[in-house]
A and B are shown apart, each in its own frame.
Chain A
Amino acid sequence: MVFAMVTSLIANSLDEKVSPIIIDSVEVVVVVVVVVVGGVGVGEGASECNAPARKGALTLAEDQDDRSTDGELMMIYKSLYFHCMAN
């Protein structure tokens, strides 16, 4: 069994696409981690988890922005994203 992992880092984002491919008797699992350029606005091609995690984080994040609540936004996004990936 041959496992090949191709990781393509196009930009700094957490959008991931996992594509398993099986060729004849040799199983080659190509895991392509495609990191999509940008963030919002690149809806197509984004993983199933990224868009809802982003939307969820923006809905859940605090609505006053004066005590560095962006940090909280990031934590909520990560929690939603990894929860989605694990399920």
Chain B
Amino acid sequence: MKLLKLCVIVAFFLNVTFSFSQTNFSGIVNYETSINERKMSDYVNVKRKKIKNKQLIKTLDKVFLNTKSIKSTLLFSNKEGVFSVVDKMNLDKKDLAQKIIRIYSGGSKIYYYNDATKNYLIKDCESVGECLIYDNTLLEWELTQESKIINGYTSYKATRSKGKVIAWYTPVIPVNFGPKGEFGLPGLILELEVGKVIFNATKIVLNPKKQPKVEKPTNGKLVSKEEYNKIIQKAKENVFGKGN
């Protein structure tokens, strides 16, 4: 009986591995972003008390306590992927809080991944007055054995930047991408805690009938990561002064 069980498990994994090793492996992953509860409690219990400007408190309250989730999508096909926010701000154009959570979710940025050519790019048309396309760097993850089930997939915890960024990925779907430019894990990221928000995969469609179209970003000034940082730093210094 035990032997039979083992054979079934091995056959299952061989089947999964075989299915995913097909050349036309593609998929669509929908994510929803919401304010991270830990950050919300940090704001309510600590940061809020230090702010004196009432209008600012009103605005921040809206962001932390009253925002609706933002939808985003990761498309992947043949070792290429692209992540972007879906919501186009139609109804919430004047809603500042929604605007902020949209920025947290990636804003109008386009995150492009290509594992075949090791080309990872970010297109940013919002931060300064022009569209910039720059390299997205691989950041080192620390893998752990901690696991949980997300949408039926066994997922493992990984962290980076001293635990500030937490990802839950599933090795069952061997796609090394995730939301908002995160990549490099041995499986698809299904949950991501980054900054003030948390991304949750809400729908995963593997090998859809219509293959997702993944396009490399164009129509922007190509700059290196260092050049991009310099441009942003200059803009930042003009507003915030040096040393911020």
Using CB atoms and an 8 Å cutoff, list the residues of chain A in contact with chain B.
11-14, 38-41, 51-52, 54-56, 58-64, 66-77, 79-80, 83-84
Contacts and interface: CB of A to CB of B under 8 A. Distances in A.
A75 B107 contact: yes
Judged by DSSP, the binding face of A is helix
A79 B240 contact: no
A63 B42 CA distance: 12
Contacts of A69: 195
Contact of A79 (B96, B181, B225): B96
Contacts of B99: 79, 83
A75 B236 CA distance: 10
A55 B56 contact: yes
Interface centre among A14, A67, A79, A83 (most CB of B within 10 A): A67
B128 to A, nearest CB: 7
Interface in B178-205: 181, 194-196
Interface residues on B, range: 35 or more
A51 B104 CA distance: 21
A71 B139 contact: no
A55 to B, nearest CB: 6
Nearest to B238: A12
Interface centre among B194, B233, B239, B241 (most CB of A within 10 A): B239
Contacts of B161: 64, 66
